[in-house]
Amino acid sequence: MTDRSRSILDYRQLASTYDASCKRIGHIREAAIDALVLQPGQTVVDIACGTGATLLELSERVGPEGKVIGIDHSPEMVEVARQRVSLSTAKNIELLVEPIESACFNGKADALFFCFSHDVLQSKEALRNIFSSTSCGARVVTVGTKLLTSWWAGPLNSWIHWRGRRYRTTEQGLAQPWKPLQEYCPDIRITNTFNLGTSYLAEGTFTTYITDH
């Protein structure tokens, strides 16, 4: 079970130093954005966008006719994102301070981007809500931390749990974080790994939406 109240409190404290603490994952985010294969004019949702590290690049990819919607439940994280956007020339970014579980926006998403958003992936309500506003055929890309399954990985996995303790509120599903997406994207699969396999990139297509959950 994820704990949204705890997450909001944790990110209240993390917001001011978050960007500095994530400098080493720039190449992973970049590969994930490439995997979206965004087209000009599309609408992409940056799920749990945090401080908006990926917003400007997404904005470039969809161009002035497209739209980027960044959603996050932490007001402090989104405030940093707002400042980032206001210092840029981008005019196609909308920011929402809302839980993914109940967020709503105009129109439908052509692409969904889950970048280091483990808690959201493990929330059935969040996935149900966001996919209800997503066009069939949308590309879905997720990138984040995962556990290793090799026999020798114990110490590394302990480090992963310790390092992530303030960045996520559940360790559930950390061996295959993308798995809950299979319900919506049956073809979701890992296409790349990074940092000894402790980070993954998975890609898929939204093809099914089951309404009787």
Ligand X SMILES: C[S@@+](CC[C@H](N)C(=O)[O-])C[C@H]1O[C@@H](n2cnc3c(N)ncnc32)[C@H](O)[C@@H]1O
Q: Residues interacting with ligand X, by CB under 6 A?
A: 4, 7, 11, 22, 48-50, 53-54, 72-74, 77, 99-101, 115-117, 119-120, 123, 126, 167
| Shortest Å, Cβ 9 to ligand X | 10
Closest residue to ligand X, based on beta-carbon distance: 50
| Between 79 and 187, CB nearer to ligand X | 79
Q: Which residues contact 11 (CB under 8 A, 6 or more apart)?
A: 18, 50, 74, 76, 77
Collapse the DSSP code of 17 into the 3-class scheme (helix H, G, I; strand E, B; otherwise coil) and give the result: helix
| Between 93 and 126, CB nearer to ligand X | 126
Q: Which residues contact 27 (CB under 8 A, 6 or more apart)?
A: 194
Structure tokens at 2: 């994820």
Closest Cα partner for 109 from 94, 90, 125? 94
| Shortest Å, Cβ 22 to ligand X | 6
What does the DSSP 8-state code read for residue 146?
-
- As a whole number of angstroms, the distance between CA 33 and CA 115 comes to 9
| Between 27 and 64, CB nearer to ligand X | 27
| Shortest Å, Cβ 115 to ligand X | 4
| Shortest Å, Cβ 128 to ligand X | 12
| Between 75 and 137, CB nearer to ligand X | 75
- As a whole number of angstroms, the distance between CA 140 and CA 22 comes to 23
| Between 50 and 66, CB nearer to ligand X | 50
| Shortest Å, Cβ 167 to ligand X | 4
